[in-house]
Every structure is written in structure tokens, then in C-alpha cells.
Structure 1
Amino acid sequence: MFTLFKKKQAATAHINGAPLTVLPRETLLQAALRSGVDFPHSCRVGGCATCKCRLVSGRVRELTQSAYVLSAAELEQGYILACQSVPATDIAVEVDLAARPASRRVTGRVLAQQRLTHDITLLQIQLDEGLTYKAGQFAQLGLAALGEHARSYSFATPMQADAQVEFFVRKVEGGALSTLVNERDLTGVAAIVEGPSGDCWLRPGSGPLVMVAGGSGLAPILAMLLDAAQTANTRPVTLLFGARTESDLYALNEIEAIRQQWRAPFTFIPVLSALSGDDAWRGARGMVGDHLPVHIGEAAQAYLCGPPAMVDACTAALLARGVAHEHIFADRFADRFITIRRP
């Protein structure tokens, strides 16, 4: 009997010349990891560009747009995101397999919790040994009460000598880990932190810094600023913090302490998006991206951390103002759950 539907076939992908089989509907990254290739990767949802590689031959079907995380030069050179690319033909790619950051699984226990807003809790964990990371990066966090499930959270402080780490955990509807952290006392509960991941850390330079945070996206921004303040950074800073209402603002004392310590102009602009017309708030209102063009110039280096819609809107605003794509660094806080291997 004849059929109108053609069965999808597996494809062959050559990674730096070495062949492997990519199953139907499988991404290049999934096939590489399944085959034991230590392919550079981090978020797995197309938001960090850690898995970028150059497509030498063949065609792929992209699951999401890569223009927001790859520069115009990279796109012109044929770079793709392995985690979002399903081969449409046999393909060949080139990738620096040494680019994968050194990632480790470290055990520890919950030391303390502190409610920051109605839906964000600070989680402090004492690790059994130190974990090396750059301020701005994130890790996979797992708790013993949840078995094999883990969630990506950014470190909220620079690396500490006492091996303590902090995360800002926002409660997500239906999120098992975030609900647990925001609703239960977890003091003493065993934890696993696997990382670091991500490439949103402070790059060297002398031009002004523009930092934009939304919600729990303040964690990596705060970590970068704390780290830079300790090194007597002299670059002007503009920090825009987007929240819904005044009660959703937090870490204001910490931001003020950084501002006082900073050895250059430091401008902090909280922007509230869900106020009524008769609200007493006298600060900036609306979407944080609407206020961005006033505070940026072409020479700025920008760091964006928070909800994907906010990051995308701010990226577009920065590009429209002439900021080079390679000077924009972003961490799009997608809801991504993974499974981690227990030691």
C-alpha cells in the first residue's frame, strides 16, 4: 500500500570531521550528548549561545530564532545553535570542544532562607567544598526532596571563600522547586549545585555599563556589581530594575551600598509597570525597555538579565541606539528544568 507520508530518516553529522547519527527530530546537541561527545552547552533552550558552532555544509531547521544571541558577523559566517538545530540533511560543523566551562557537582545543605518579596526567596546554601564560577553565571540547583529534578538559577553573589552560595528563587506556578523554596522551611535539607554555566559575566572595558534586571534577574546583575565594586571599578554605571509594583522591589540597601562604594557615577532607576494612575509612586513607570534609550550611548556595554520578553525588547532598543551586538550580553530567564546525575 502506498502512503502519502515520507518516513523521516536519520541524518549524519560530522563534528570536526567525526561522524555521528542524528535521529529524526533530534537536535544536533541532543545527538552529540547521546553519543558521548562533550559538546559545549549550558541552557539548552537557545538563550546563552554556549553551544554555537559553524555550519560547514548541509542544512538545518532552527527551532527558534538565533539572531538575538548570535552576532551579525557570526550569522554571516554560518554559526548556528546546536541545541536549536535539527539537521534537514547530512551536515558538517566545526566547534571548539575545549570551550566547555569546567563544570562540577558539589553537595551541600540549605543554610538559610529569607523572603525578599511575596514571590521571591533568597536561598543560602553551604557547599561542602568551593565551586569556581564567575559572577553572572548560573548553576543547576537540586534539592533532596525533589529527587532527580533540578532548576537553573543564577548565583546572587560573587564566589565566596567560605563556599557559601546564594540564589534568588522566584515562585513559578506549577514549579516544584520554586514552590518548595517559597513555601517550606528547608533549613538543613541536602542540595546539589552543578555548574558553572552561562557566559553572562562582566567583560573588561573602559566604557559605560548599562545593567538591566527584571524580577529575579537581579541576581546575576547584583553579583557582577558586587564583584566589580571589590576591584575598584571606575566605569560609569546605569542600573535599571524592572518590577510590577513597589512591593516587588528588593535588595535596595545592597544596591545603595554598591552605589556608595562605586568610584564613578552610579545611576539606579527602578521602573514599575503595574501601577494605577493614582498611585503615589513618583519614579519611572512603564516597561523598563521604554526608559533604556535615554540612558545609553553607542559606546555602552550592556548586560540584560530577566524574562525573555524584557531581554528581547531591551536588545532591540540597544541595537537601535547603535550599541554593537557584541557589546550586549544577556541571560534570558526561561523556565528550564533538567535532570542531574546524583553522585
Structure 2
Amino acid sequence: MFSLFTRHRPTTALINGVSVGVDPKETLLQAALRHGIDFPHSCRVGGCASCKCKLVSGSVRELTETGYILSDEELDAGYILACQSVPRGDVHIEVDLARQPSRRQVRGKVVAQDRLTHDITRLVIQLEKSLAYRAGQYADLSLDSLPQLRRSFSFASPAQPDAQVSFFVRRVPGGVFTGVVNDRPLLGHGVTVEGPLGDFHLRSADAPLLLIAGGSGLAPLLAMLQGAMANGASRPATLLFGARQARDLYALGDISAIATQWHGSFSFVPVLSEAAADAAWQGERGLVTAQIPALLPPGAHAYLCGPPAMIDSAITLLREAGVPREHIHADRFTTLQDVLPTSA
């Protein structure tokens, strides 16, 4: 007998032999973590490959393009990113659970809170203990005044001997955490920093660098450049920085110091996408990615950080220009909505 009402059989993921139920529209990573499996992961947005696993059987719907993260060999072998894979039915995957990156929580206090633009604040934290990390990685922050909220931000400076760390925090409309950081005085307030997280960092090479930042995505690229400069890097470097208006440009003093002290050629190109409101602006206008064809040096390695649309556009242009997948490194910035628990 035909019925207008059908029951969908629950989807099951077999993870290293452990059966896990997967809710509709849930990714493999979300399901694994919900069931208490210590699945290797970091960025959760398909930018670091920490959650890569082998799809033994079944099929998945991929939320984003993963070809620039996984190698051709890995793709041919059936590897996928768990954070970007929604099962189309029952699946069987295998993952090396020993790859979970080591991280730790360190307490600290806010020692500086500097307004960089109308919606970005630099937060400087003095940690009680040093935290080893690579420039380009990120950490999860929680304020003592908002213990129920934890948000991820890239380190905006390389690791320092004095155990100070800094972050660029952009105000998100309706965001409780970012609103507090941008609008309330926090000097002396306690903070918990958990990390390091992510696989976005500068690889050793002599190839020219093309770095592209959008908005607060400038933070990890600045840290990379400062760290490389301190280590005497001399490879040619070009930094493209996309912003809406002139008032959204920031850290220009830091960039100027890098340009002056860099041991090789260094070029900085700011690009405004809404420059019509800035009649006095004499620099580049339009989308920052439109500058790639003209400024891409032969044999360059690219490092990208910003909103997903910018990252995807840049990757397409770089691949069309012949940049190998393994020489493109990206960190997508995404926005999470703050949801505070309600009292019973």
C-alpha cells in the first residue's frame, strides 16, 4: 500500500568499526564529536585537512571544494574532509585517531585593547605560561565575563619570549563576544587561550610569496611576515590587502616596518572594493583578487586568509595561472552566531 508519509532510515557512519548515527544535514565530523569520538580536527571549515579520512564505502556530499587541500594521490585513494562531508547514505570511513593535534589551555589577562578601525580591535593578552605555536595558526578564546562563549581567532603576531599574544577581533553584527571586545574596557580581565589550532603556517621555501588578506584575515599573514622577517627571510614578497573603504585599512605602521626591514623585495598593495565613497583614494579599486594576474610572480607560493568567497575566487585564479595545488595555502574566516544559554 502506498503512503504519502515515508520514514527515512537513519544514516549510519562506521568510523574505524564504531557505528555512529548521523542526523540529516550533519557532517561526519559533527556526528563523530557528538558521539564522543576524539576525531582529529581543527578549523572545521575545510581549510586545514586535520580531519581528512578515507571513505572506504558509500558516498558523501561535499560542502566545499577540497581539491586544493588534498593531494591528487589522496583524492584518488578516496580521502575526504570529515568537516565538509555530509553522508548521502550509510558510509564506512577510516581515520588515524592519533593525529589529533596537541593543544592546551593557558590562562592570561588583557594588557592592551587598541581600536584599529571602527570595527576591529587588537586584543593583547599576557599569558601565565608560554604557548608554542606557528605564526598563522589560531586559538580559541573565552573571557571570564563570558565563560559560556568560545570564539576562534588567529594569532596576530609570532610567538614571543615574554608570552604575550595578540589577536584582531572584528565586531560581528549581533555578536556578543566580539561586541564586548570592541565596546567594553577589558584591561585586567581574565582570558583563557586554548591552542594552537590549524595547519595554516609558512612553509620553508625560497619561492616568491603572494599573500592575500581580506578584512581581519590580515592577522595571520602579518604574524607570518613578522616571524619570517625575524628569521632573516629574503624571498620576494607581495602582500595584497582587500578592504571596503579607506577607513577599513589598518596595521599600516606594522606593514611599513616590514617593508623597511624585509631582507628581499617587498610590495604592499591595498585594494578598496567600495572606493566610490573615497574620492581622494589614489590606490587600487575593485576586488582584491582581480590583482592576482598582474602581480603573481613566476613560481610563487600563495597564502590566503579572508572570507570564503574571496578565498574561492583567489584559488580559481591561481589554479588558472598554473600555481600547483600544493603551493596554495588558505584559511577561511567564518562567522559563528553567539547563542547564550537560557536560564531554566
Using structure 2 for the length normalisation, give the TM-score.
0.92
Q: Which amino acid aligns with 1:308?
A: P
Partner of 2:98: 98
Q: How does 1:230-245 map to 2 (within 5 A)?
A: 230-245=230-245
Counterpart Cα distance in 2 of 1:69 and 1:138: 18
Which of structure 1's runs of 4+ aligned residues deviate more than 6 A? none
Gaps of 5+ in 2: 340-344
Q: How far is 1:111 from its partner?
A: 1.2
Does the aligned pair in 2 maintain the 1:297–1:323 contact within 8 Å?
Answer: no
Q: Percentage identity across aligned positions?
A: 56
Structure 1 position 208 matched with structure 2 position 208: yes
C-alpha deviation, 1:51, in angstroms? 0.9
* Structure 2 residue 23 is the aligned partner of structure 1 residue 21: no
In the alignment, is the contact (CA less than 8 A) between 2:126 and 2:164 conserved in 1? yes
CA contact 2:140–2:193 (8 Å) conserved in 1: yes
What does residue range 190-229 of structure 1 map to in structure 2 within 5 Å? 190-229=190-229
SS at match of 1:217: helix
Amino acid at match of 1:21: V
Match runs of 1:183-194 below 5 Å: 183-194=183-194
- Paired residue secondary structure (1:110): strand
Opposite residue 127 of structure 1, the aligned amino acid is: L
Q: Post-superposition shift, 1:74?
A: 3.3
**Matched AA of 1:106:** V
Distance verdict in 2 for CA 1:60–1:4, change over 3 Å:
farther
For residue 182 of structure 2, what is the amino acid of its counterpart?
N
Give the direction of change, closer, same or farther, for the CA distance of 1:133–1:5 in structure 2 (3 Å limit): farther
Instruction: Assess if the C-alpha contact under 8 Å between 2:273 and 2:287 holds in 1.
Output: yes
Per the alignment, residue 152 of structure 1 pairs with 152
The separation in 1 between residues aligned to 2:126 and 2:311, in whole angstroms, is 31
Q: CA deviation at 1:279?
A: 1.3
1:50 is aligned to 2:50: yes
1:72 CA displacement = 4.4
Q: Deviations over 1:33-88 (max 9, x none)?
A: 23332211112233433212121212223344434544444333322111222333
Q: How does 1:68-79 map to 2 (within 5 A)?
A: 69-79=69-79
TM-score if structure 1 supplies the norm length? 0.92
Letter aligned with residue 22 of structure 1: G
Residue 23 of structure 1 and its aligned partner are, at CA, apart by: 3.1
Matched to 2:249, the amino acid is: L
Cα deviation code 1:213-244 (max 9, x no counterpart)? 11111100000001000110121101111112
Q: Please list every run of 5 or more consecutive structure 1 residues that lacks an aligned counterpart in the other structure.
A: none
1:136 counterpart = 2:115: no
Contact 1:208 1:299 (8 Å CA) reproduced: yes
| Counterpart Cα distance in 2 of 1:68 and 1:267 | 26
Kindly state the Cα deviation for residue 2 of structure 1 after the two structures are TM-superposed.
6.2
Do the aligned residues in 1 keep the contact of 2:47 with 2:332 (CA within 8 Å)? yes
State how many pairs are aligned.
338
Task: Give the alignment of 1:1-343 within 5 angstroms.
Answer: 3-15=3-15, 17-25=16-24, 26-67=26-67, 69-276=69-276, 279-336=279-336
Structure 1 residues 3, 125: closer, same or farther in 2, change over 3 A? farther
Give, in angstroms, the shift of residue 302 of structure 1: 0.4
Note if contact 2:27-2:86 (Cα within 8 Å) is conserved in structure 1: yes
Distance in 2 between the 1:265 and 1:107 partners? 39
SS at 2:18's partner residue?
strand
Q: What RMSD in Å do the two structures reach over aligned CA positions?
A: 2.1
Could you tell me whether the CA contact under 8 Å between 1:112 and 1:125 is conserved in 2? yes
Distance between the aligned counterparts of 2:245 and 2:283, measured in 1?
11
239-248 vs 72-81, which deviates more? Answer: 72-81
CA contact under 8 A between 2:246 and 2:278: conserved in structure 1?
Answer: no
